[in-house]
Amino acid sequence: MKGVPLLLNGAIKIVREDKKGEEILLYFLERGDTCASSFASAISNNKCGIRAIAEKESEIIFLPKEKLDEWLVKYKSWRNFVIDSYNIRLNEMMETIDTLAFMRMDERLYKYLTDKAQILRETSLNTTHQDIAYDLHTSRVVISRLLKQLENEGKIKLNRNKIEILEF
């Protein structure tokens, strides 16, 4: 990383990709957020182990890595922002692990949908069953069946390439 991104507007999903190209969603970034992995990558000059994908039109500024150390010493507010960012991302990573370890797939799916709606600030999500399956690291067939179940429970309404969240 040649700089650290700061998201001014929009929404970005952060995914981890394995050597076979399979992905799993780690967390979302929203306005005012930055990615802690980017800090570590920029400071250590190592490759970042994550990938960022814009979920909607986004505006980002990149802070030059040459200024990171200087600003950590010079500006207490910047140091607090960096530490808070690490803390937030660590908590989100633990939540992701908890979700994978302790939640049933239908619960994971509904949490994913409501989290995404909240980040995008939209109750109507333009997405496909296959895209959701990629994010949750499962099959499209499983997602389609569980989406139909959620629709029958009155939590969502399914349309072609669109899911409307009815309950939060």
Domain match, 32 and 67 both: yes
The predicted structure's pLDDT at residue 71: 92
Domain match, 154 and 118 both: yes
**Would you say residue 159 has pLDDT above 90?**
yes
Domain match, 45 and 87 both: yes
Domain match, 97 and 109 both: no
- Put residue 49 in one of left, alpha, beta given phi > 0 → left and psi -120 to 50 → alpha: alpha
Domain match, 92 and 110 both: no
Question: Angle at which helices 129-136 and 105-120 pack, to 10 degrees?
Answer: 110
8-28 pLDDT, tens digit each: 999 999 998 888 888 888 899
The predicted structure's pLDDT at residue 167: 81
Which residue segment(s) compose the domain that 159 sits in? 105-165
The predicted structure's pLDDT at residue 23: 84
How much is the average pLDDT of 59-76? 91
d(CA 112, CA 99): 10
CATH number, position 139: 1.10.10.10
Domain match, 111 and 153 both: yes
Domain match, 144 and 117 both: yes
Extract the runs of DSSP E, i.e. beta strands, from the chain.
Answer: 3-17, 23-30, 51-64, 124-126, 156-159, 162-165
Give the count of domains, the chain: 2
d(CA 26, CA 86): 14
